[in-house]
Amino acid sequence: MARIVVAGAGATGASIAYHLALQGSGDRIVLCEREEVATGATGKAMGGVRQQFSTAPEVRLAKASVRFFEELGSPLFEQVGYLFLATTEAGVTDLGERLRSQQELGVPVERVDPSFVVGLRTDDVLDAVICREDGVADPAGVTRHLVMGARSMGVDLREFTDARELDADVMVIACGAGSPKLAAHYDVELPIRPLVRQLVDTGRVDGVPDDLPMTVEAETGFHFRGVDGALRLAMAEPTLRWSAKAEVDDELVADWRARLAHRYPAAADVEIRRRWAGLYDMTPDAHPIIGWVADGVYAACGFSGHGFMQAPAVGAAVAQEILTGSSELDLAPYRLDRFGGEVVFPETLVL
């Protein structure tokens, strides 16, 4: 029987290995990781799980994944909702249009009075929407859970091993920002570029509710979630940092502190406990690349900053396609050949 090597034990690779095993082929799968499980983007992620996307293919992946997270439940997933706040007339119009298009795509988004969130400043908020099925998860914890499940079904985990050292009948490239390098080993060019993004954890803040939704300022993209009584902050950056050097920009940290003090006044003087940076694996259209890219080589990468929340659905569909030749979830929108000729990375991406 064919030996399948899944390269990369982030959320994507772990989910693929888990689903390959679940679909009956655990004893011929190697999950191969250059470092340790969940040390790439997965271990650095915010953990947001949302269905509120603007295109049908993204919504489909998110909807199929949220059921998995619901079954997982607390403490790995907290279904606290994703709350978007608009503070300008333009923001209100955008939020209204998005609400309609997402409802048409079947996402249960609704208008809400945001003052239900204890401690949140809402006197400048003109409109707000929430999807209560969305929430926040522990990306490294979920990934370790998947790896444990995969191993219990016979998958061979090899940490500190570069996939290029292993022979495979099928090589699955799930290496995040490292994917183009592994693909090049098979003479395949993947249009994926690393983009630096950072996160900040505060110390404990009095009164942060356990069910604080992921709260997003729609116009600026500034957002935060609760983590054990503290807050985790992130924001779409005004100038995109196209680089493989994952460094923290302290000016951004200072800016986010000021934004937090405004939106969540109880955190005005809170200390910053941790800051770190990681890499998004961006494609030109911010949608992933999923499918065969050469004989015996399958790619599942380029998740462009939202691969954790899509990993359950992607893992199930990829496993099915590799084992049976097709998948229930339509993977056609994600094929590599959609990028014909010259690929251009937009300099203004809404992330």
Ligand X SMILES: Cc1cc2nc3c(=O)[nH]c(=O)nc-3n(C[C@H](O)[C@H](O)[C@H](O)COP(=O)(O)OP(=O)(O)OC[C@H]3O[C@@H](n4cnc5c(N)ncnc54)[C@H](O)[C@@H]3O)c2cc1C
Interface pattern 290-319 for ligand X (x via CB under 6 A): -----------x-x-xxxxx-x--------
CB 59 to ligand X: min, Å: 14
Can residue 69 be called a binding residue for ligand X (CB under 6 A)? Answer: no
Can residue 46 be called a binding residue for ligand X (CB under 6 A)? Answer: yes
Can residue 47 be called a binding residue for ligand X (CB under 6 A)? Answer: yes
Q: By CB under 6 A, what part of segment 144-173 binds ligand X? A: 162-164
CB 310 to ligand X: min, Å: 6
Helix, strand, coil percentages in the chain from 3-state DSSP, rounded to 5: 35, 25, 40
| Cβ proximity to ligand X, 69 vs 264, nearer residue | 69
CB 134 to ligand X: min, Å: 11
**Do 315 and 18 touch, CB atoms closer than 8 A?**
yes
CB 33 to ligand X: min, Å: 5
**Do 320 and 328 touch, CB atoms closer than 8 A?**
yes
Report which of 135, 191, 171 is spatially closest to residue 13, judged by C-alpha positions.
Answer: 171
Can residue 86 be called a binding residue for ligand X (CB under 6 A)? Answer: no
| Cβ proximity to ligand X, 125 vs 173, nearer residue | 173
Q: Which 8-state DSSP code applies to residue 76?
A: T
Query: Which residue matches tokens 């048409």?
Result: 104
Can residue 263 be called a binding residue for ligand X (CB under 6 A)? Answer: no
What residues have CB less than 8 Å from 81, skipping those under 6 apart?
130, 131, 132, 133, 134, 135, 213, 214
Taking the mean position of all CA atoms in its chain, how far away is CA 291?
19
Spatial distance between the Cα atoms of 122 and 268, rounded to a whole number of angstroms: 16
Q: By CB under 6 A, what part of segment 222-261 binds ligand X? A: none
CB 244 to ligand X: min, Å: 12
**Candidate residues 16, 20, 30, 32; the one interacting with ligand X per rule CB under 6 A:** 32
> Contact region for ligand X (CB under 6 A) — 3-11, 51-59, 78-86, 343-351?
3-11
CB 89 to ligand X: min, Å: 28
What letter represents residue 288's amino acid?
Answer: P
Can residue 213 be called a binding residue for ligand X (CB under 6 A)? Answer: no
Can residue 107 be called a binding residue for ligand X (CB under 6 A)? Answer: no
Q: Where are the beta strands (DSSP E) in the chain?
A: 4-7, 29-32, 48-49, 77-78, 82-86, 109-111, 127-131, 135-137, 156-158, 170-173, 193-204, 214-217, 223-227, 230-234, 272-282, 289-294, 297-301
Spatial distance between the Cα atoms of 58 and 68, rounded to a whole number of angstroms: 16
The contact set with ligand X (CB under 6 A) reads 7-13, 32-35, 39-42, 44-48, 139, 162-164, 174-176, 178, 182, 197, 199, 278-280, 301, 303, 305-309, 311
